[in-house]
Chains A and B, each alone.
Chain A
Amino acid sequence: MTRRPDVVVAGGGVAGVMAAITARRHGLAVTLVDDNATPGGQVFREPSAFARTVTPPDHERREGDRLRELLRRSGVRVLSGWGIWSVQPGYRLDLSNDFAVQVLEAGSLVAATGAVERFFPFAGWTDPAVMGLAGASLLMRAGGVLPGRRTLVAGAGPLLFSVAHQVLDAGGEVVAIVDTATRTQWAARAATLALDPARLKTGVAWMARLARAGIPVLGGAVIRQARRGEDDLDVTIGSVRGGAPVRSVRCDAIACGYGLKPSLGLTRMLKARHVFDEAAGYWHPHADPFGRTDVAGLYVTGDGAGVRGAQMARLRGILTGHGLAFDHGRIDAATLAHLARPLLRAMRRLEVVSRAMTSLMNPRPAIMKEAEMHAPDTLMCRCERVSIAAGGQAIRDGAGDMNQFKAWTRCGMGPCQGRMCEDSARQLLARHTARAPTEVGAFTQRLPLRPVPVRALSGNFAYADIVLPQAAPP
């Protein structure tokens, strides 16, 4: 029997790993729970042995391997392949994998659950050849497989160009890049990007490569429709401002996504205070620089506290580790201040650039409006098959906030737990009711946080094992 740890860290990305290692260095007993097979999160996902041989080792791989090695030697207890499906204050965590369940208790809980990709619907987006930008990146970097022979890259934010670059790197073809942001909007951020020369250099190199390869970059554009043909997709592209289609292309894979948003399951379940970031277009838990939320013993670190990218996540993780040490009486205030100072300074430098990128990913209401106008039958809820038109009707019938909308339409009640549709539901509601996104609320988080097999819950028992009360004498 292992003793109850001081801290449980949920999530094995760079922030979670750094928080765990740092807290451990201060002498705390730390358990890290991660639902991936090996630590690293999404950015530093461990490549398969096959992927290691077919894709060149890059910064992410080297950093990821270093992170995994640090963790291995840290004394942190690591539970890989386990996800949290329920949480109670105090803290009691119910974990599951595909086969079993277990319970974990700790005084402090760090939500380091990172970010998930944000999506908006277009006609044909449930086709199996359509996947997320982050998903396409994971497939290439961790799996060593291209999304398709000819890939269309669509959506918003820097990930568009990163994915296109990865496709080219692996010898694939990029048909086009469809970006909701215009060139003017990118240019407006160029000055800010110059504050981070490394990132600017990478960005410029990517753009130059796309130009050399003659890959069209369509700004201010969205996919209007992807229609399945014999063995590929026929894609119509329109302007975000409406009007006639601007182009039509054929491809056999689409990688799409509208930036990242914090993963909020744990903090929502524990009723931490959340605030809406207008510039980024998402909710995030309210936290101080150490990740302390308004709930005692609950911390949030990394992209889960607001998407800022891997560099920032590392610093936030270390800060949270120091904060935990202070809160558990391992270091005094002066030591904490001394340890925090250089980290906070580095974070202030990164913040400006990270914020500029975040705002480029902010989905504009025009995207949903476009979809509603051109393809009202498009499913906004992929799990429960709720069309945009059905959503609009529910709002006209009186569904006034996110939870009424959910109850009315079943949008958000499927296996994804609303992760895929919450953003489109919020935009639809806000626009139809002419209110701010904050005013329409958010889906109430329900258990389980992730699907848990009944088999895992019930375990192995025979019918005869069920204890039946003795029947009363006649």
Chain B
Amino acid sequence: MGIQPSHAGRGFEAENGKILTQTVIFTFNSRPFTGYRGEILAAALRRGGIVALGVSAVDGTPRGAFCLMGSCQECLVLVGGVPRNACRAVVDDGLCVTSIAPLGGGS
């Protein structure tokens, strides 16, 4: 069933099998995604099938979250217009996330 752990629904540390966090809606490049409040953006997007988060500023090739510990800087996206690492920023309701356009314009 994809990249959701097959444990999903077993309810570790959950009450009555219910996940103890709120589902929220955010957008990535204008597309709506569901996530869980407080989880890192990179995780929510990957669950939603998004692997490429942006493009290399130098050559425009697609790039994604690589180190996931704030070291490689490749998962930089705009969160509400502010450049932030998707491995650090957390999901919240109504969050507007966009890829950063390559240097020198482009789409």
Contacts and interface: CB of A to CB of B under 8 A. Distances in A.
The answer to whether A binds B is yes
Interface of A: 35-37, 42, 48-57, 83, 98-99, 116-117, 126-132, 134-136, 138-140, 142-149, 169-172, 263, 382-385, 414-416, 419-420, 450-451, 453, 455
Given A128-B64, A382-B56, 12 more contacts: A37-B90, A51-B39, A132-B67, A134-B69, A138-B68, A139-B42, A143-B42, A145-B5, A145-B43, A145-B47, A146-B3, A382-B72
Is the interface on chain B under 10, 10 to 19, 20 to 34, or 35 or more residues?
A: 35 or more
B73 interface: yes
A4 B39 CA distance: 34
B65 interface: yes
Contacts of A383: 56, 58, 73
Contacts of A36: 70, 88
Interface in B56-96: 56, 58-59, 61-74, 76, 82-84, 87-90
Contacts of B36: 48-50
8 contacts: A36-B88, A128-B53, A132-B67, A134-B68, A145-B5, A382-B72, A384-B58, A453-B82
Contact of A56 (B12, B37, B87): B12
Nearest to B64: A128
B14 A53 contact: yes
B20 to A, nearest CB: 6
Nearest to A56: B12
A42 to B, nearest CB: 6
A55 B12 contact: yes
Contact of A37 (B5, B47, B83, B88): B88
Interface of B: 1-8, 10-14, 19-21, 36-40, 42-43, 46-47, 51-53, 56, 58-59, 61-74, 76, 82-84, 87-90
Of B62, B63, B69, chain A has the most CB atoms within 10 Å of the CB of: B69
A54 B8 contact: yes
Contact of A116 (B4, B67, B87): B67
B3 A129 contact: no
A387 B7 CA distance: 42
Given A48-B38, A50-B39, A145-B47, A171 B59 contact: no
